[in-house]
Amino acid sequence: MAMGFSGASTKSLPSQALNHHGAWVYRVMLLALACALVQPAWSAEPPKAVVDPALAMLQKIQDAARKLDYSGVYTYQQGGMMVSSRIVHLVDGTGERERIEMLDGAPREYLRHNETTQCLLPEKKTVLVERRRGDRFPALILGEGKAIPENYHFNQKSGLSRIAGRECSVIELLPKDGHRYGYRLCADTKTSLLLKAQTLGPQGGVIDQISFNSIQIGEKVPSAQLASSWNTKSWEVIETVMTPIDLTKSGWRIPFPAGYQAVTQVSRPMKRGQVNQLVITDGLAAISVFIEPYDTERNSPLFNGAVSSGAMNIFRTRIGEHWLTALGEVPPETVRDIAEHTEYVPLPGR
């Protein structure tokens, strides 16, 4: 989901353990998310008109996140980690404007105007710029989302709940197979804005969650809150360069789990060479596959295996002269199957 690297206990895959667990997780997530928030933001186009009642309700939640003015503080919990952020979202004559400030850990700010996002890194006096649609919590749908009813059972719960002082209705989306987790959503009864989202494990337990602690919706949100707290006049500005690619034409055979479709295939320059990224989604869950060069001097065989944190699962394996890393808020078997069944067949002349 757009909610995040989405509680039940955290458990690693039954594969080779990673001795440098923390360092490797940090490295992979840094590569995976670059300047994303704790929750990822994937390219997402507004869904087309829908008739399915479940998808229509999810579309109302998505529209509320994009079209309403709101500000508040939300907390994201992944396993034993908790991170709070302050968000301000306004819609004016120029489109959507958004500012997100991380309140825990290293200082970070994210300033978005429609499809352009600036990530402020104060300790490096650097601004990273990315130009693509990036929907985060409280947005919900990734891509068009038309296949969501095919992959999830929709359940409207009776009664109301209460989050951040506002009443909300509870919706459950339960997976039809083992390639994805379930979700429990709580949407504001007056505006349909998503107030809380939980990722559910196979037994129905909460794996991770994101929820507003305080929220203000409507015209009383002051536009002055969109201004950054940092003076970036002398900071270095770096724009992310991403080139569209077709991994199949490069010789890669990457299997998709049932119900998933590709939404992004790009190549980006990194210090260790070009890194290719594939993003697939079923409308709610997203999986990223990263392919980078194998370096015999820098890599270790201990870095071949799996790690988990909350709903986030990562599996890494070597394929020829490449490292392949699959990660996403999906069951561990899903990313492991992708990595272990991927094949690279070099094309003639390569």
Span 323-341, average pLDDT: 96
Q: The CATH number of the domain where 231 resides is what?
A: 2.50.20.10
pLDDT for the residue numbered 241 = 85
pLDDT for the residue numbered 43 = 41
CA dist 50 and 56 (Å) reads 6
Classify residue 196: in a domain, yes or no: yes
Classify residue 54: in a domain, yes or no: yes
Q: Is the backbone peptide bond immediately before 244 cis, with ω within 30 degrees of 0?
A: no
Span 294-305, average pLDDT: 63
pTM of the model: 0.84
Classify residue 170: in a domain, yes or no: yes
Backbone angles phi, psi at 303, to 5 degrees: -90, 30
Report angle CA 326, 330, 332 to the nearest 5 degrees: 70
CA distances from 135 to 220, 260, 307 (A): 23, 19, 26
Report angle CA 79, 42, 219 to the nearest 5 degrees: 90
pLDDT for the residue numbered 306 = 84
First to last CA, the chain: 37
Q: What is the mean pLDDT of the chain?
A: 85
Classify residue 36: in a domain, yes or no: no
If you count them, how many residues does the chain have?
350
Classify residue 90: in a domain, yes or no: yes
Per the DSSP assignment, residues forming a β-bridge with 214 are 73
Classify residue 219: in a domain, yes or no: yes
- Domain span at residue 119 reads 41-238
Share of the chain above pLDDT 90, in %: 67
Asked if 263 and 281 count as a contact pair (C-beta separation under 8 A), the reply is: yes
Total number of domains constituting the chain: 1
Tens digit of pLDDT for each residue in 70-124? 999 999 998 788 999 999 999 999 999 999 999 999 999 999 999 999 999 999 9
Classify residue 339: in a domain, yes or no: no
Tens digit of pLDDT for each residue in 161-171? 999 999 999 99
pLDDT for the residue numbered 122 = 96
Classify residue 328: in a domain, yes or no: no
User: Among all chains, which residue has been given the structure tokens 């070099």?
Assistant: 346
Q: What is the number of helices (H) and of strands (E) in the chain? A: 4, 21
